[in-house]
Structures are given as C-alpha cells and as structure tokens.
Structure 1
Amino acid sequence: MFETYDLKNFGARIRKIRKSLGYSQTQVSTETGVHRDTLRRIENGNNIVTFDTLNKLSMFFKKDLFHEIAHYNTNRNLLNYYEKIDDIISSYDYDKLINISNDFEVNFKDKSPSDFSLYEGGVIEQFRLIVKGIEKLIKKDQDNKKIMSIFKEALKLTLKDFNLYNFSKFKYNLFEIRILIMIAVALKRDNNYEKSNEILKFALKSLDFSEESLLNEKKLIIKCFSNISYNYHNMNNYMKSLEYAIKGIVYAINQDIIYALNHLYYRKGIAEYLLDKDESIYKDSLNKAIHILEIKGYYELAKKYKEITKDRYNIYLDR
C-alpha cells in the first residue's frame, strides 16, 4: 500500500511545535543537523520527511512525530472512506452513500491541487468518481455504458493507459482493484458476463489470500467470489455458480467475516435448487442468507430476498 500525506498541514504543525518551544529554524538546524533549508521546506509543506529527519526532530522536540504524522496520512483517511463504501455496496444504502460523500467533501473541500502531489490529487478525484458511479448503480440507472465510463475514467487518473483490453498488464493497489471490480459489476449489468468474470478472476489473483492481509482486502476477495458466482448463474452454468459460492463461503468462514456472506449463501441455495438438490439442502442455504441479513439488521432487504425467491422460484422460506 502506498503512503501519502497532507504535507502542508503537517508542516504547519511542525512550525507550531518549534515556535511553541521558542526555537528558530537556525537553532533547530544547529542542534539536530537537519539542514535549515530542509526544515524550511518541511514547514512549508514542500518536502517529504525522511525517517532519519523525523527521528532527529522527535528527539529534539521531545515529541513523537511519528505518531503526529499518522494523523496527516491522506491514504488512511481515504481508506476509511473506502471501507465505508464497501459496506454501502453490499447494502445498497443510498442515504449512507450521500452522507459519506458529503462528509468526504467537508474534509477535502479546502484542499487545493497544490496541497497534494499529482498522484494524491488523482486518488482523491478517483473517490469522487467512484461515489458518482455507485450512486448510479444504487439508483438503478440503466445507462451501463455511462456507469462503466465513470469507473474507467477513475482508473485512468492513476493508470492513464488503462482500457478493457490491456487491464491485465497493470499492477493495482487496493483502491484501483475496487474500481476494477466495479467495472466488472457494470459489465455484469450489461450482460457481458464472460468479460466480467475475466476481470474478477484477475482481481482474485492480484489480491493477498494470506492471513496477514488487511480486512478490506479480504472483503474484496469475498466480493469477487460472490460476483463470479452470480455471473455463472446468469450464464446458466449452475455447477460453476455453486463452486464459486462455496469457495467464497469457505474463505469467509475461515476468516471469521460475515461481510457479503448472505450473497454467497443465496447464490449457493439458488444453484442447489436449479441443480435439483434436495429441498432441505437448498432451503438451508437460502435460510442462512436471510438469517445473516437479519443479524446485520437489514430486515427490509431480508424481506425483499424472500419475496424475490417466492416470485421467481416459487420457494417459500421459513424465516
């Protein structure tokens, strides 16, 4: 994971600490060995602070500047927003999406392009485009080409040569893989299930399956399994749909993650039904999907699941 920082505000914080202790830049430079010009550039937000410099200043100011700089980690802030977005994609909660979008704009509204590196600015604009694309998905906008173009535009901010034909040539960070998955979702909505699965399987290979991987990365893995299973369902390949649903369930349970587990159990149950499995088998899977939604507090969504299952498959669920 790359790290980016709000250097302007962190620099202002360093200046405030220095002045509160009554030191001039020259005094700090003399005592620490940090060049005065380097210190000036740090305080003006024009210089990335090295580990060695941060350590020297921490010792001199008698303050843990490593802890201080963590509060100015732009990616940490962005990661928090992306984690919230992950849950919204799962629940399709439009009101929460708008609240997060508004909160994001409040946090970043006073930032001018000069406050960030070119890369950081691109990542921030990426988030805005992702919100725009997800909003269209939640509102069931039928213009899938437009939705896809929004997500492709977002990826091109950091991978300028990206397109649907060369996507496998790039290495992606977690932010970018999220967008790649959303492109696959848009392709699924456009009935291009094979291309969607091609992208999702590539995303799976790019993600870290180790125990040490981040929670949000594990969620992306589960999301990929769920979408691949659904794509195979739409391709009438119910054996493959069942296979990927089970893979996702096993992975989620092994990681003690409930996220999107309802989708996976639902896909498993429908595949079992369409493969003429015993009623007790497919109903068990479907009822687990409903139960998980209720545990998460999504009672209306659970009700909708049951109605769709009854109307589409003539299956009456107990819960």
Structure 2
Amino acid sequence: MTKLFESYKLKELGKFLKSTRINLGFTQKDVEKITGITSDSLRRVEQGQVLLRFDTLILLSMAYKKDLIEDLKVYCNSTRLLSYYTRLEDLIINYRLETLQNLRQDYYDYIKCFEPDTPINYHVECQFEKLLSGISKYNSSTPQDSLEDFIDAMRINNTLFNIYNYHQFKYTVFEMRILLLIALALSTKNEFASSNDMLVYCLKRVNLNRNSTYNEKLLAIKIYFNLSYNYHRIDCHDKAHKYSVKGIDFCNKHYISYGLATLLYRKGIAEFFLNKPKYLMTLNQSLTLLLIEEKESLAKKYIDITYKNYGIPLSLDTLCNISKN
C-alpha cells in the first residue's frame, strides 16, 4: 500500500498547499474535478488534520504544476537533524576533535536555536543518536569501537543487517551514509578488502546523475575520497589516484567545491608515490583552495602532516610561485 508521510509539520504544510491553490485561482471543488481528491479530503489536508499520502501529493503536483515533493522537504520535522548533519560535516572536515568526541551534548546545544517541532519519527531519532555515538567513538583513540554503533543504527530499520549481507537491503540516502561509516569503521580494523567492497557498492547505489539531490552528490564525493584514502593506506597508489581523479571530475561536473581540496590532496600524494612530476602543483592547488575557503589553520595542518609523513616541504608563502610553474 502507499506509504504515509511521517514527521512533517502538517499545519504549516496545509497552509502552504492552501495558499498555492488560492494563488492559482482554484476552489476546492475545482481541485476535486481535476484530481478526484474530494473537497472534504482536501479541506482536512489544508487544515493539517491528516497525513499526506504519496499518491495525493503526486495528484496535487500535477494540478498545481509544481514539484510538491521537493517543497515537502521544507516542512520536514527532521530539519534539525539535516541541519545538524551539515554542521557535522563541517566538524569532520575541520578536525574539531574535542567537539566530535562529545557530539550528543553538541547536538542538544545546537538544536536549542530551533523552534519546537512535533515529535520526530521515533526510529529516525534513534538511528541518529546511534550515529552520533558511533561518530564520537570513531574520532576517539579507539575508532574501531564505532562499528557496533553504526551496525546498531542500521538495524533499527533493517533488523537482519550484518556486514556480510548488506547488499540484500534497500537503503535511504541517510542509511547509505551509515553504510559508508560502517565501511570506514572496517578500515580502522584493517579490513580494507571488505571496506572497499562496501564503498564500491555504495558508489553503485547512490544516484550520480544530474537529477540527484545535493546530499546524494555530497555522499558520492565522500565515497570517492575514502576509496582513494583506503587504497593509499594499502600502497595501491594507482587506484588511489584513479578514485581521487574520479572525485575531482565529479566535483567539477556538478560545480561543487565541497571535498575538492581533500581530493586534490589525495591526488597529489598518489602522484608523489607514482613519480608523477606535477604532484607538487596538485598539492599546492589543494592548499590554495583551502585558503580560498578561509581554512588557513587546516592548510597549515596539511603542511605539517605532509612533511612529517612524506618528507614533502610545502609552504603557504610559496603557493603563488609554485602554481605558476
């Protein structure tokens, strides 16, 4: 049967649908003639008294000549979860370890600025809490302990899930992120073959075409980066280079700068090990992009790590000169 939409601000959504109808000059009877949705049903939807059915939303989209499925995202009660997930990405990219190790408190502090919502779907909230716990452990001194939390998060909706039968299930975009994190947790246990197989599976399952959502595109970029990094860790530099280039091409194709600096860095390190002459230029492109994004402290960390791990001297002072050569 058609699923009902849950965890949405029904009254606000109803007001939006009513104003859309009125702006088009339609009465409720007009909409009934066009869609077959009774006036009484539409009245209850517009008053926020009932949960929307998917087929109802499709019919209204056709009548109003508007993508109401896309508009629906604005009225989602899990907006605070999505907003916090964006913050989480920033914390990870900028290595804010102190905050990452206490995510639950940071999450509760963060959502205080949001207006109270009606209750979020219980399973969604439980899944998110397990995810936060796992990420805190992943960024601790014992990252391998995160695996159990990530698996528990996945089992909330897929009770029979395990790391061997993951290909038997269907996943939401959010659950694909959890699967990505499971793959990363496996790599902390040096199970690189299993980790890479899972990442490649994620890459095949995520929507990579031009109609994909922004969150799907960000997920793809993270997968490319982590495949490149995993192959670097097992000294398979050809594949590390391959996936970094694929990630860079994907960013350029979709005009996204997110993750581009890290992918350029992975490409530069792979070029260094493959004795490609332009590795220094690539590394400095990565640093330049970090400076453009006003992440100078992160650029300095890259410089320190690069010299410590690979003996490659980089400097912010010489970026312009090197890039010209």
**TM-score (normalizing by structure 2):** 0.74
> CA separation of 1:158/1:105 partners in 2, compared to 1, >3 Å: closer, same or farther?
farther
> CA separation of 1:108/1:167 partners in 2, compared to 1, >3 Å: closer, same or farther?
farther
Letter in 2 for 1:154: A
> CA separation of 1:284/1:14 partners in 2, compared to 1, >3 Å: closer, same or farther?
closer
1:78 paired residue number: 81
Q: Distance in 1 between matches of 2:282 and 2:199?
A: 24
| Aligned counterpart in structure 2 of residue 284 of structure 1, from 276, 281, 286 | 281
1:298 lines up with 2:311 in the alignment: no
> CA separation of 1:14/1:315 partners in 2, compared to 1, >3 Å: closer, same or farther?
closer
2:180 paired residue number: 181
1:155 lines up with 2:154 in the alignment: yes
Give unmatched runs, 5+ long, in structure 2. 16-27, 29-37, 61-67, 317-325
1:126 paired residue number: 127
Letter in 1 for 2:109: N
Letter in 2 for 1:235: I
Q: Distance in 2 between matches of 1:310 and 1:239?
A: 22
Q: Distance in 1 between matches of 2:245 and 2:258?
A: 15
Whether the 8 Å CA contact 1:152–1:163 is kept in 2: the answer is yes
1:286 CA displacement = 0.9
1:48 paired residue number: 51
1:87 lines up with 2:84 in the alignment: no
Whether the 8 Å CA contact 1:133–1:150 is kept in 2: the answer is yes
1:34 paired residue number: 40
Q: Distance in 1 between matches of 2:167 and 2:71?
A: 38
Q: Distance in 2 between matches of 1:69 and 1:255?
A: 24
Q: Distance in 1 between matches of 2:255 and 2:12?
A: 42
Whether the 8 Å CA contact 1:123–1:158 is kept in 2: the answer is no
> CA separation of 1:67/1:249 partners in 2, compared to 1, >3 Å: closer, same or farther?
closer
Q: Distance in 1 between matches of 2:173 and 2:181?
A: 13
Letter in 2 for 1:232: Y
Q: Which has the higher contact order (CA 8 A, sep 6+)?
A: 1
1:156 CA displacement = 0.8
Q: How many residues align?
A: 284
> CA separation of 1:3/1:91 partners in 2, compared to 1, >3 Å: closer, same or farther?
farther
Q: Distance in 2 between matches of 1:93 and 1:296?
A: 17
> CA separation of 1:108/1:130 partners in 2, compared to 1, >3 Å: closer, same or farther?
farther
1:242 paired residue number: 241
Whether the 8 Å CA contact 2:267–2:282 is kept in 1: the answer is yes
1:195 paired residue number: 194
Whether the 8 Å CA contact 2:7–2:78 is kept in 1: the answer is no
Q: Distance in 1 between matches of 2:52 and 2:231?
A: 49
SS in 2 for 1:317: coil
> CA separation of 1:73/1:287 partners in 2, compared to 1, >3 Å: closer, same or farther?
same
SS in 2 for 1:210: coil
User: Counterparts in 2 of 1:47-66, with a 5 A limit?
Assistant: 47-50=50-53, 51=56
**TM-score (normalizing by structure 1):** 0.76
Letter in 1 for 2:166: F
SS in 1 for 2:130: helix
Post-superposition CA distance 1:72-103 (Å, at most 9, x none)? 42344433333332333322335485544433
Q: Distance in 2 between matches of 1:93 and 1:102?
A: 16
SS in 2 for 1:187: helix
Q: Distance in 2 between matches of 1:91 and 1:233?
A: 21
SS in 1 for 2:40: coil
Q: Distance in 2 between matches of 1:256 and 1:72?
A: 27
2:33 paired residue number: none
Moved more, 88-97 or 248-257: 88-97
Whether the 8 Å CA contact 2:4–2:51 is kept in 1: the answer is no
Q: Distance in 1 between matches of 2:112 and 2:131?
A: 14
Letter in 1 for 2:242: E
Aligned alpha-carbon RMSD (Å): 3.6
1:142 paired residue number: 142
1:221 paired residue number: 220
1:44 CA displacement = 9.1
Whether the 8 Å CA contact 1:83–1:216 is kept in 2: the answer is no
1:314 CA displacement = 1.1
1:12 CA displacement = 9.7
Whether the 8 Å CA contact 1:42–1:48 is kept in 2: the answer is no
User: Counterparts in 2 of 1:251-266, with a 5 A limit?
Assistant: 251-266=250-265
1:311 paired residue number: 308
Whether the 8 Å CA contact 1:184–1:196 is kept in 2: the answer is yes
2:204 paired residue number: 205
